[in-house]
């Protein structure tokens, strides 16, 4: 009687242990790997900003002359052959200009500043816009940059995401092959890295003398080309093992 009770007790204790072991074994038949993608792409948008400024003892005259040149610049830019050109105002400032002389601030008059930003998909024609501004007497050109449009950025990030997923499967298959097993279905996939776009700065500032020299000598427009951008993406994927 005692022997029978002991066997029943042993069977009761052993069954849960075997069940947990089987569950652990089934859940452990997977491989989790990371996939990476790094690709280069070319920008499809470019922009440049022109600053019109006038200094005068009378603030009304400063505002008037600045406004006139600003409107003339906008009209000339619109008449250019650059396609899909977008113009936007970047700044408008009217203030007194003072300089420190003989231990005191001396008024030099009032200045008025207006900025206009020109954006176009024709990056190579940004130089033509710069030449137009120089010819009109604009003394400051700044903020030249090239970048990805929203649509191209989304398309390139999607392409990189697909590449990262394929890279993850290749890694998983290589690991499985080394252990004499095969990769099965996808159990889980997580996006990591966020599809970062690395946009190198492209600073440019052409002031007074350089812009004046371009206008006076009828120099050819500068050649503008976009710098390549880098997109990176990481994913984490879990596959079952067969």
pLDDT digits (tens, 9 = 90+) for 55-71: 999 999 999 999 999 99
**In 10 A of CB 65, how many CB atoms?**
16
Q: Kind and range of the H or E element at 65?
A: helix 59-79
**Residue 154 above 80 pLDDT?**
yes
Residues 225, 122: Cα–Cα separation, whole Å: 10
In this structure, how many other beta carbons lie within 10 angstroms of the beta carbon of residue 138?
23
**How many distinct helices (H) and strands (E) make up the chain?**
5, 8
Predicted pLDDT of residue 12:
44
**Which band of pLDDT confidence, cut at 50, 70 and 90, is reported for residue 155?**
very high
**Does residue 91 sit within a domain?**
yes
pLDDT in tens, 159-188: 999 999 999 999 999 999 999 999 999 999
- Report in angstroms the alpha-carbon separations of 197 from 55, 56, 77, 162, 163: 41, 45, 31, 16, 16
Rounded mean pLDDT of the chain? 84
Q: How many domains does the structure of the chain reveal? A: 1
pLDDT at 212: 54
Question: In angstroms, rounded to a whole number, what is the distance separating the alpha carbons of residues 220 and 216?
Answer: 11
**H or E segment and range at residue 51:** strand 45-56
**Calpha distance 31→189 (Å, rounded):** 12
| Structural domain span for residue 59 | 45-146+204-223
Judged by average pLDDT, the poorest of 27-31, 93-97, 202-206 is 202-206
| SS3 category, 240 | strand
Tell me whether residue 130 is in a domain: yes
DSSP 8-state secondary structure symbol assigned to residue 88 = E
Higher pLDDT, 206 or 241: 241
pLDDT tens per residue across span 207-219: 443 555 555 556 6
More confident residue, 199 or 50: 50
Q: How confident is the model at residue 221 (pLDDT cuts 50, 70, 90)?
A: confident
Q: Does a structural domain hold residue 20? A: no
99's tokens: 């300089």
More reliable by pLDDT, 120 or 8: 120
Mean pLDDT across the stretch 178-207?
Answer: 74
- Has residue 36 been placed in a domain? no
Does any domain span residue 188?
A: no
The pLDDT of residue 178 is 93
What CATH number should be reported for the domain holding residue 59? 3.30.70.2970
Query: What pLDDT shows up at residue 223?
Result: 84
Beta-bridge mates of residue 146: 46
In a domain, 70, yes or no: yes
Q: Collapsing DSSP states into helix, strand and coil, what is residue 152?
A: helix
Pairing of strands 140-147, 45-56: antiparallel
Specify the pLDDT at position 199: 57
Which residues on neighbouring strands pair with residue 109, listed in sequence order? Answer: 97
As a whole number, mean pLDDT of residues 80-90 equals 95
CA distance 114 to 108: 19
Strands (E), 102-152: 104-120, 140-147
pLDDT band of residue 22 (cuts 50, 70, 90) is very low
């Amino acid at each position: 009687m005692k022997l029978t009770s002991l066997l029943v007790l042993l069977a009761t204790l052993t069954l849960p242990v075997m069940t947990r072991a089987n569950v652990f074994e089934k859940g452990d038949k997977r491989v989790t790997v990371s996939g990476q993608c790094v690709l280069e792409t070319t920008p499809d948008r470019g922009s440049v900003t022109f600053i019109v400024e006038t200094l005068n003892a009378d603030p009304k005259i400063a505002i008037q002359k600045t406004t006139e040149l600003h409107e003339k610049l906008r009209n000339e830019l619109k008449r250019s052959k650059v396609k899909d050109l977008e113009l936007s105002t970047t700044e408008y400032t009217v203030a007194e200009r003072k300089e420190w002389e003989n231990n005191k601030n001396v008024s030099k008059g009032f200045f008025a500043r207006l900025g206009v930003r020109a954006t176009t998909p024709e990056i190579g024609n940004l130089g033509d816009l710069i030449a137009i501004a120089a010819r009109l007497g604009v003394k400051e050109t700044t903020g030249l940059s090239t970048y990805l449009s929203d649509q191209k950025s989304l398309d390139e990030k999607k392409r990189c995401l697909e590449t990262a997923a394929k890279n993850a499967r290749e890694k998983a298959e290589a690991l499985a092959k080394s252990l004499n097993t095969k990769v099965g279905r996808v159990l889980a996939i997580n996006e990591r890295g966020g599809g970062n776009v690395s946009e190198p700065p492209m600073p440019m500032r052409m002031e007074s003398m350089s812009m004046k020299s371009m206008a006076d000598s009828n120099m050819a427009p500068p050649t503008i080309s976009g710098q390549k951008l880098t997109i990176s993406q990481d994913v984490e994927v879990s596959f079952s093992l067969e």
